[in-house]
Amino acid sequence: MSALNYLFSSLCSHDPLRSFAVEGNLLPFCQRCTGLYMGLGITCLFLLASRLYKKGLPSLSVIYVNIASLLIMPIFGFHLFDPGPAWRLWSGLIYGNAIASLLLPATSIICNRGWVCGQYTKFSTLKFFALFAFLNTIPLWFPIQSMLFYYLILMFAFTGLFCALFCLIAITVFWIKRVIASLILKGLSNGYAKNDTCHRY
């Protein structure tokens, strides 16, 4: 447990008074971060399993919901409005969902140079809203007092963090390769230009 606390200490203040305990075990992150990591993890698994991340950016209705979810977080995150643990968890859930819903498709588009194998359909949009509705129910029954549930939360947390980190690394590597390739091509073209100039004289 101390290793988990150390791992998440740089990502979360982990106030014991604002953290959930499951079966007497205090989670290594606060209530809001619990929602954030769960939202990230659940949505990442959903997008990967349904392959929605390969269909390009979500529809406008989904994007609007995600933007609203991102804008709600500062209200709760800066404690401008803090009605309790369930609301902290809820704000984290929809925020994590929004990040994953935008980050995974964007990574797929960038790394495939804009190519996508499908487009968002009405059915895809319905899938997203079904997931969104499910995430909104989690605060109603959280936390279940079970060690299985405790490990499930940790699994979602690690999944969400790994997925977000993988996307950021993939985008970074893509741009580094692109910059290096453009520099090499620029160097080669300049070299040919010099050779042509020499041949002319």
b/e per residue 92-126 (b: at least 16 CB within 10 A) = bbbbbbbbbbbbbbebbbeeeeeeeeeebeeebbe
Q: Which of 112, 128, 111, 115 is nearest to 167 (CA)?
A: 111
Between these two residues, 7 and 179, which has the higher pLDDT value?
179
Q: Using alpha carbons only, what angle is made at residue 131 by residues 54 and 59, rounded to the nearest 5 degrees?
A: 50
Given a cut of 50, whether residue 200 has pLDDT beyond it is: no
pLDDT-derived band at 181, boundaries 50, 70, 90 = confident
Given a cut of 90, whether residue 96 has pLDDT beyond it is: yes
Q: Taking the model in full, what pTM does it have?
A: 0.83
Which tens digits make up the pLDDT trace of 55-91? 877 888 999 999 999 998 877 766 666 678 888 899 9
Which tens digits make up the pLDDT trace of 182-196? 888 776 666 554 555
Residue-level pLDDT at 129? 94
Give how far Cα 169 sits from Cα of 37, 100, 140, 183, Å: 18, 15, 35, 21
Residue-level pLDDT at 172? 92
Cα first-last separation, the chain: 74
**Relative orientation angle of helices 85-111 and 122-141, to the nearest 10 degrees:** 150
pLDDT-derived band at 3, boundaries 50, 70, 90 = low
Which tens digits make up the pLDDT trace of 34-54? 999 999 999 999 999 988 888
Residue-level pLDDT at 118? 64
Instruction: Write a three-state SS string for the chain.
Output: CHHHHHHHHCCCCCCHHHCCEECCEECCCCHHHHHHHHHHHHHHHHHHHHCHHHHCCCCHHHHHHHHHHHHHHHHHHCCCCCCCHHHHHHHHHHHHHHHHHHHHHHHHHHHCCCCCCCCCCHHHHHHHHHHHHHHHHHHHHCCCCCHHHHHHHHHHHHHHHHHHHHHHHHHHHHHHHHHHHHHHHHHHHHHHHHHHHHHHC
- Between CA 68 and CA 62 the distance in angstroms is 10
Which tens digits make up the pLDDT trace of 121-177? 788 889 999 999 999 999 888 778 888 999 999 999 999 999 999 999 999 999 898
- Between CA 89 and CA 177 the distance in angstroms is 39
